[in-house]
Amino acid sequence: MKRRTGTILATVIAVVAASSAALFALPASAETAAFTVQSSWTNGYQGQITVNNDRSTAISTWKVDLTLPAGTTVTQAWNATLATSGSTYTFTPAGWNAGIPAGGSTSFGFIVSGTGRPTACLVNGVSCTGTTNPSPSPSSSSPAPSPSASNDGTPVGINGQLKVCGTKLCNESGQPVQLKGMSTHGLQWFPACYTDASLDWLAGDWNADLLRISMYVQEQGYETDPAGFTARVNALVDEASERGMYALIDFHILTPGDPAFNLERAKTFFAQVSARHANKKNVIYEIANEPNGVSWAQIKNYADQVIPVIRANDPDGVVIVGTRGWSSLGVSEGGNSAEIVSNPVSAANVMYAFHFYAASHKDNYRAEVERAAASLPLFVTEFGTVTYTGDGAVDTASTNAWLDLLDRLKIGYANWTFSDASEGSAALKPGTCAAGAFSGTSVLTESGALLRNRLRAG
């Protein structure tokens, strides 16, 4: 994905979206900034600021100072570095977005606790003051297509480049979007399941938005043939792209559970795939499938080293970070999401993985997801309809309870697995892939029928 700049705005700081607007006059020939309330709720809102360079020459850096009234605080920012001094919040570049060419712009976002709007601001040291004007809220119905998306009716055509806005995954025009799809099994074991015919079926009949490409690192995976497995992943990303689906590249670590064991492999792999797909709008990077037996601090340290490798090639791609306890937000190891909330990954455009298996993980896991979703952007990159072993009977009631919750919270998901493995979690009956029988419903398992129906329902 290429770095993009926003539309050049007039010499103002203006609130022009979701709930209210503030207008600040700026002197001529200065840098300008547009402050937009993207969405609001009872006790807070999500803001965005676009810094514009209206000069005839480039600027090498920028700084925005916002002063908020008592009782209103900035709690999180992305695409900028945040510093706080009393009631003043200073935003400086994240690194890659420091320089702004003549006539260009860059944007950053933030979450505010409290309802107060900025009472004063500085843009590169220039003072600004102003008044407040109300503005109607936009419709909260279906996400609006991005004006720069191709809008060919496919998921990518409609939504374009994704980004993290607050606790949600949003499309190119800033509207929350929920991706729903399927995960491959290990590429080394089920190559016949991922063909032109099967992917046409998944995209066209199942209506899947997302293909999670599960590349095992151990277990006869990447470590045995790095070039070969990288090529397989690249080919499947291209196949998903041709069908307008989002491609989630899963660096599938499981045993050993410490992601640092594969740190150098991860750097090499993600450097290669991010360079290969940097100009695509549909690639999401999952950098550690299921960390286990390690602390959140160790996982964060790994993420803080791998994410810059991706960002060097693809500054816009969404990155998903695995969480403690087999990506259970720590619940499966006696923890919870508070450790992530208090010590988040040091990068923007990041989400956190959650995994569940419906027959094993029930009310206490659902309660933690509901709690965490208020503070963290979550993505269920893997779930099963059966037990945590990947086998056993389908638990329809628990699966539907989970999917109803995810739909309500607008959290995306990928089901394990689009394969014909001899296990309860497989969507296809054994022998389906070898026969190339990718049509109809007779080849579906109970799990496959459940998921196909949910995906087709939208």
Report the alpha-carbon distance of residue 141 to residue 458 in Å, rounded: 14
User: Which structural domain, as residue segments, surrounds residue 397?
Assistant: 155-457
The reported pLDDT for the residue numbered 138 is: 32
Question: Can you tell me the distance from the alpha carbon of 95 to that of 18, in angstroms, rounded to the nearest whole number?
Answer: 29
SS (H, E, C) 146-196: CCCCCCCCCHHHHHCCCEEECCEEECCCCCECCCEEEECCCCCCCHHHCCH
Query: What's the pTM value of the predicted model, to 2 decimals?
Result: 0.70
239 in active site: no
CATH of the domain at 271: 3.20.20.80
DSSP class per residue in 94-105: -STT--B-TT-E
- pLDDT at position 179, please? 97
What is each CA distance from 131 to 13, 21, 44, 119, 204, in whole angstroms?
A: 11, 9, 20, 9, 51
Angle at 333 between CA 331 and CA 339, to 5 degrees: 60
For position 85, what pLDDT does the model report?
Answer: 87
* Pair 207, 130 in one domain: no
Q: What is the mean pLDDT of each run of 10 residues along the chain (458 residues)?
A: 31 31 36 72 78 80 88 85 90 83 80 85 64 30 40 88 94 94 98 96 96 98 97 96 97 97 98 95 97 97 97 95 97 96 93 97 96 96 97 96 96 98 97 95 97 92
Active-site residue identified among 31, 286, 339, 382? 382
164 and 120 part of one domain: no
239, 290, 339, 368: the active-site residue: 290
Nearest to 317 by CA among 306, 326, 328: 306
C-alpha–C-alpha distance, residues 343 and 297, integer Å:
8
Domain assignment present for 20: yes
219 part of the active site = no
- Domain final position from 71, 105, 134: 134
In a domain, 86, yes or no: yes
How would DSSP label each residue in 34-73?
EEEEEEEETTEEEEEEEEE--SSS-BS---EEEE--TT-E
Note whether residue 7 is domain-resident.
Answer: no
Q: What is the pLDDT of residue 132?
A: 27
Is residue 101 included in any domain, yes or no?
yes
In a shared domain, residues 129 and 277: no
CATH of residue 64: 2.60.40.290
Rounded CA-CA distance 197/50 in Å is 44
Total domain count, the chain: 2
Residue 251 burial by Cβ neighbours in a 10 Å radius (0-12, 13-18, 19+): buried
